[in-house]
Amino acid sequence: MVAIGVGIAQKQSLGLVPEHIVGKAVLKMSLQELQQFVQTQFAENPALVVEDFVQCPACNSPVVDGVCIACGARQASQDSSSDSSDSSDSFDSSDSFRSFDSPHPDDVPPDQFAGVAAPLSLTDHLKQQIRAEIGPEDRSLADYIVDCLDENGYLREPMLDIADRFHLSVPQAEIVLTRLQRLDPPGIAARDLRECLLIQLSHLEDDCQDSRNAKILLRDRWDSFSRMKIDEAARKMKLSADEIASAMRFIREALNPYPAAVFHDPWQELAPRRVPRVAPDLVVRQDEEGIRIDVVDPVSGRIAIDEVYASLHSDARAGRSVLSEADLAHIRESVSKAKALIEAVEFRRATLGKLAKEVLRCQEGFFKDGPAALKPLTKKDLAKKMGVHESTVCRATQEKTLRLPTGDTISFDVIFDSALPVKELVRRFAAEKLNDGQIAMKLTELGVQVARRTVAKYRDQLRVLPLEYRQAA
């Protein structure tokens, strides 16, 4: 170390080389991002050769070891598939369905249109309707309101702020909101539960006595309804207790307090983030030999350095090249980038394989018995078991998805959700008609110390109503 000024020192250090940068970036990529990145590198780097992979005729996803990584379609005849691959890089459409069977003999063959389009999100579904139902002058406001909706379809943003953003008065903004509330699903864009239920009632064509009583109950006697005061509501509405109970039963059976629930994936309530329905990065398989986790990687082993560039690069290193300095610089750079990509892809596969092995060892009960069997596991603990830095585990699990033996695809972050077993117990006890306090007591008896308000929070995340709304009137 050499001093060059007061309080300043010069120190030699090794910075990140491009290979390290590429390796860390590739490790963070999901399967789809990796495929896109490799295709981009192939188009930009002439020293890179990428072998075409076989595509599933049902959903156009890569086929690895004769099995589609997305829909599970299995190649029926190795001979027929090899014949077709010799003649072309992809399957001929006339032979594709003869070459593939469903994953299991009793299963229905995969839907050939399954990969045409991903399921619509709530936002996309509403914005499609906006284009047809709301004029161009109000669409930007309607789109903004849709973007403000929470995961249950409620509008939590104050109308005053929304109106001010678009330089409108609140009544003007509410006109657009009212039109938006007429869209599907019924009850969408409500500002509270009362408004949500009233909107749904206005959509119903059933004009029975229960429907009329329910509307009056929600509109004029909300306080009595929310506290389940049947006698009080009956007295004020001059109806019998049986009529009020029947109206409450109608509300419970005909209306939905969570209008956006139809757009939720089954595992979304347990995962800390939304997961797109795409080909998974890892697949949990269960057969006669037990449970295993396979890394889905159609890229590794299919990329290489072009033979011509490899030869020119070898000649240049041996001093036998007659090319110009500019050409040699191009060859060195291209080959170096190709090698870095190949090493990064192999490192990603090896790291995910090591990760899968440790996760299976720690969480085998979860894969066999479900959420209640999930054991506490942090990324730091997993990194220690793998013998790597915690940042490596963070990159390896970032944006990665895992397909369970049930067919559900979940975020890898679910594995680290320590509250998941407690949430599952809350769900089970709620199904037994217990209130939040009773559930908390049951959990305490099982050795799980959870406050009543925490039970209420988990129950709300699971979209389970409070006991007074669940029990029969």
> Is 10 contained in some domain?
no
Q: Which of 188, 192, 199, 195 is nearest to 126 (CA)?
A: 188
Task: Say yes or no to pLDDT of 351 above 50.
Answer: yes
- At which of 416, 439, 460 does a domain end? 416
Task: Output the pLDDT for position 135.
Answer: 85
What's the pLDDT score for residue 121? 76
- pLDDT for 59 equals 55
430 contacts: CB under 8 Å, gap ≥ 6:
439, 459, 462, 464, 467, 470
Residue 444 CA neighbour count, 13 Å, CB half? 11
What band does 180 get if pLDDT is binned at 50, 70 and 90?
very high
Of 377, 396, 416, the one marking the end of a domain is: 416
Nearest in space to 274 (alpha carbons), one of 264, 282, 284: 264
Question: From residue 385, how far is each of 189, 357, 368, 411 by CA, in Å?
Answer: 47, 10, 22, 21
* 204-227 tens-digit pLDDT: 866 788 888 888 888 888 888 877
Would the pLDDT of 276 be above 80? no
Give the separation between CA 15 and CA 182, rounded to whole angstroms: 58
CA 42 to CA 338: how far, in whole Å?
Answer: 9
**Does residue 177 register a pLDDT over 90?**
yes
Which residues lie across from 67 on neighbouring strands?
64, 74
Same domain, 152 and 244: yes
pLDDT of 3: 40
16: β partners: none
Lowest mean pLDDT among 78-87, 262-271, 364-373, 380-389: 78-87
Tell whether 382 and 426 lie within a shared domain.
Answer: no
pLDDT beyond 50 at 92:
no
Task: Please give the C-alpha separations between residue 406 and each of 287, 302, 368, 417, in angstroms, as whole numbers.
Answer: 13, 30, 10, 19
Beta-carbon contacts of residue 378 (< 8 Å; ≥ 6 apart): 416
- Distance (Å) of CA 56 to CA 115, 269, 308, 335: 10, 31, 32, 32
> Is the model more confident about 21 or about 42?
42
Mean predicted lDDT score pLDDT of the chain: 78
Report yes or no on 190 lying in a domain: yes
Per the structure, how many domains does the chain have? 3
Q: Does 216 lie in the same domain as 140? A: yes
Q: What does the pLDDT look like over 304-349, one tens digit per residue?
A: 898 988 888 888 888 887 788 888 889 888 998 899 999 999 999 9
Reply yes or no on whether the pLDDT at 12 is more than 80.
no
178-182, 233-237, 420-424: which has the highest mean pLDDT? 178-182
pLDDT digits (tens, 9 = 90+) for 373-420: 888 888 998 999 999 999 999 999 988 888 888 777 888 888 888 888
> Domain check: are 237 and 138 in the same one?
yes
pLDDT of residue 286: 82
Q: Which of 47-56, 86-95, 352-361, 421-430 has the lowest mean pLDDT?
A: 86-95
On whether both 453 and 432 belong to a single domain, the answer is yes
The gap from C-alpha 321 to its chain's centroid, in whole angstroms, comes to 52
Residue 107 CA, distance from chain mean position: 25
Is pLDDT of 164 > 70?
yes
Residues 347 and 362 in one domain: yes
pLDDT above 80 for 191: yes
Is position 196 within any domain? yes
Q: How far is CA 57 from the centre of its chain?
A: 25
8 Å CB contact between 213 and 225: no
Query: 454 lies in which domain range?
Result: 420-470
- Residue with the bigger pLDDT between 443 and 58: it is 443
User: Is there a single domain that holds both residue 234 and residue 333?
Assistant: no
Average pLDDT over residues 275-292: 76
Distance of alpha carbon 146 from alpha carbon 181, whole angstroms: 10
Mean pLDDT across 291-295: 87
Q: Which of 226, 261, 296 is the last residue of a domain?
A: 261
pLDDT band at 60 (very low <50, low <70, confident <90, very high): low
Report the Cα 38 to chain-centroid distance in Å: 23
Same domain, yes or no, for 170 and 218?
Answer: yes
Is the pTM higher than 0.75? The answer reads no
Do the domain assignments include residue 62?
no
- Name the strand (E) or helix (H) holding 197: helix 193-203
The encoded tokens of residue 398 equal 């970032």
Return all residues near 447 (Cβ < 8 A) that are at least 6 apart. Answer: none
The more confidently predicted of residues 320 and 169 is 169
Q: Using alpha carbons only, what angle is made at residue 335 by residues 332 and 340, rounded to the nearest 5 degrees?
A: 120
pLDDT at 346: 92
% of the chain at pLDDT higher than 90: 10
Structural domain includes residue 454? yes
Clarify whether residues 148 and 231 are in a common domain.
yes
Q: Check which CATH number belongs to the domain holding 449 and give it.
A: 1.10.10
DSSP single-letter state for residue 155: B
Between 375 and 12, the more confident residue is 375
Confidence of residue 118 (pLDDT cuts 50, 70, 90): very low
Here the tokens at position 439 are 């559930």
Give the highest mean pLDDT range of 6-10, 68-72, 341-345.
341-345
Residue 234 within any structural domain of the chain:
yes
DSSP state of 283: E
407 and 436 together in one domain: no
Say yes or no: 288 and 376 in one domain. Answer: yes
Lowest mean pLDDT among 97-111, 288-302, 311-325: 97-111
| Residue 304 is assigned to a structural domain of this protein | yes
Residues 377 and 365: their CA atoms lie apart, in Å, by: 13
Check whether residue 256 and residue 142 sit in a common domain: yes
Is residue 379, in this structure, part of any structural domain at all? yes
